[in-house]
Amino acid sequence: MTKGKILLGITGGIAAYKAAELTSALTQKGVEVTVIMTESATHFITPLTLRTLSGKDVFTELFPEKIPPDPLHISLRERGDILVVAPATANFIGKMANGIADDLLSTIALSFTPNYKATGQAQPVIIAPAMNEVMYKNKIVRENLKKLKKYGVKIIPPEKGYLACGVEGEGRLASPDKIIKIIFETLKKISKR
Ligand SMILES: Cc1cc2nc3c(=O)[nH]c(=O)nc-3n(C[C@H](O)[C@H](O)[C@H](O)COP(=O)(O)O)c2cc1C
């Protein structure tokens, strides 16, 4: 029996490889995972890996060669009770905080209304930022995160630890276990509404 369905957005950071572990663990736990990758993310991990681990088609393009009957950003919306973006780049965070929708993932992100108190709809969005410490502490990124939080987006803060740029610092993607725990808590919450 399905434990819920999520859209998993993967953006182009070095932690994108950890999204494979996340996809595999969630799928094994009975969650239906539909993956949407940014073009940048495909430089870090292949759609084939995610296609295989999720058992579902992976989506990367807003304007695919084979035109679907319904626009993807509308039809995909139905495949997830929640949108999880892990890892979320500074770029994605900036775009979402400023209403920019210039690729499939950012367009879908704007079709969710996480502030369900305002809309009466439960459409949670969870993002797990990951980037180097200098980027994470950049005031522009902080402001964008603050703005998203204000609009009802759940932020899973990055952890301190070894970063791919070779230094210790804050910016490491939260552990897959932590992200999974929050996804299950959120799925449980919305199933009660
Ligand atoms: C090797 C490499 C690693 C990167 N790692 C990160 C990262 O961890 N976090 C981040 O925010 N951006 C990172 N970037 C920059 C993003 O890839 C870049 O901002 C890109 O435009 C993000 O696109 P997207 O948000 O559409 O996926 C990295 C770039 C390179 C070349």
Specify whether the CB–CB gap between 7 and 19 falls below 8 A.
no
pLDDT at 118: 56
pLDDT at 116: 59
Kindly state the helix (H) or strand (E) to which residue 6 belongs, with its residue range: strand 5-10
pLDDT at 83: 97
Q: What is the pLDDT along the chain (193 residues), one digit of tens a residue?
A: 678 999 999 999 999 999 999 999 999 999 999 999 999 999 999 999 999 999 999 999 999 888 888 888 888 988 999 999 999 999 999 999 999 999 999 999 999 887 656 555 668 999 999 999 999 999 999 999 999 999 999 999 999 887 777 777 889 999 999 999 999 999 998 887 6
Amino acid present at 33: V
pLDDT at 66: 87
Residue 13 alpha carbon to ligand 1 centre in Å: 4
Q: Give the closest residue to 171 by CA, choosing from 180, 179, 162.
A: 162
Specify whether the CB–CB gap between 107 and 101 falls below 8 A.
yes
Domain boundaries of the chain, sorted by first residue: 5-191
CB under 8 Å to 61, separation ≥6 — which residues? 72, 104
The verdict on the CB of residue 23 being under 6 Å from ligand 1 is no
pLDDT at 77: 86
Beta strands in 25-167 (DSSP E): 32-37, 82-88, 125-129, 154-155, 159-162
pLDDT at 96: 97
Catalytic residue positions, numbered: 165
For the domain spanning 5-191, the CATH number is 3.40.50.1950
Which among 10, 40, 137 is the best mutation to test ligand 1's pocket, defined by most ligand atoms within 8 Å of the CB? 40
- pTM of the predicted model as reported, rounded to 2 decimal places: 0.95
Residue 39 alpha carbon to ligand 1 centre in Å: 11
The verdict on the CB of residue 115 being under 6 Å from ligand 1 is no
- 68-83 b/e (C-beta count within 10 Å ≥ 16 → b): eeeebbeebbebbbbb
End-to-end CA distance of the chain: 20
